[in-house]
Amino acid sequence: MHAPKLHLHSMLVHSVLGFVPLAALAFVLDGSDVVVGSFDAAVWRFLVRASLLVVLAVGVLATVTGVLERRHLYVTWHRTHTLKLWLGVALAALAALALAALVGPPSGGPPIAAVAIAALVPVAAALAALGLKMTLGRQSLAATSYRPDLAQEPPVDILAATAARLAEPPDLIDPMEEVLPS
């Protein structure tokens, strides 16, 4: 009845944002021929490709679930949502381009992959910043995405209406009063 709803989008985006810097770091370490213990160029190459594959697969899922879950949480489609959608598409396209350049024939390989991976980092950072702005609202370091609807008659400010009800006692559910089916 009151079970918390599973939000796939929130769970998926964390892995995408974790694998983007990992792919970039592994790409740089592979190109610099860095060896750390038993981690040599072969390990870095595998890590780059595996990370980009995760970013591509999970990034597409995160974008789709973001659009589907947005319909349940927000009444209107703000510019932040639109920008996040386009950045999600760009993230998937850049990951696919980098992966294709690294896995495909050596026509342009590393230079194209380097540009795509370098572009992935700021795109992922922008997605993270916009996600924080949307989910944290007033707790965010950036300006809040909340705007009162002052165009209505009378003007409506949900924060003022909520503040007026803060002193009310919480609604409690007594499970002993529920009627069990016979």
**Residue ranges covered by each domain of the chain:** 8-151
> Is the CB of residue 33 less than 8 Å from the CB of residue 42?
no
Please state the rounded mean pLDDT for residues 113-125. 89
pLDDT band at 149 (very low <50, low <70, confident <90, very high): low
Average pLDDT, the chain: 78
In whole angstroms, what is the distance from residue 91 CA to residue 24 CA?
13
Please state the rounded mean pLDDT for residues 118-127. 91
> Is the CB of residue 16 less than 8 Å from the CB of residue 62?
yes
- pLDDT given at position 140: 46
- pLDDT given at position 93: 93
Nearest to 9 by CA among 53, 51, 72: 72
- pLDDT given at position 117: 86
Contacts of 23 (CB under 8 A, 6+ apart): 47, 48, 51, 52, 55, 98, 117, 120
- Burial zone of 91 (CB within 10 Å; 0-12 exposed, 13-18 middle, 19+ buried): buried
Please state the rounded mean pLDDT for residues 90-96. 93
Please state the rounded mean pLDDT for residues 106-120. 77
2-11, 94-103, 122-131: lowest mean pLDDT where?
2-11
pTM of the model: 0.67
8-12, 24-28, 81-85: lowest mean pLDDT where?
8-12
pLDDT band at 35 (very low <50, low <70, confident <90, very high): confident
- Tokens matching residue 103: 């896995």
> Is the CB of residue 87 less than 8 Å from the CB of residue 126?
yes
Contacts of 155 (CB under 8 A, 6+ apart): 148, 149
DSSP 8-state secondary structure symbol assigned to residue 76? S
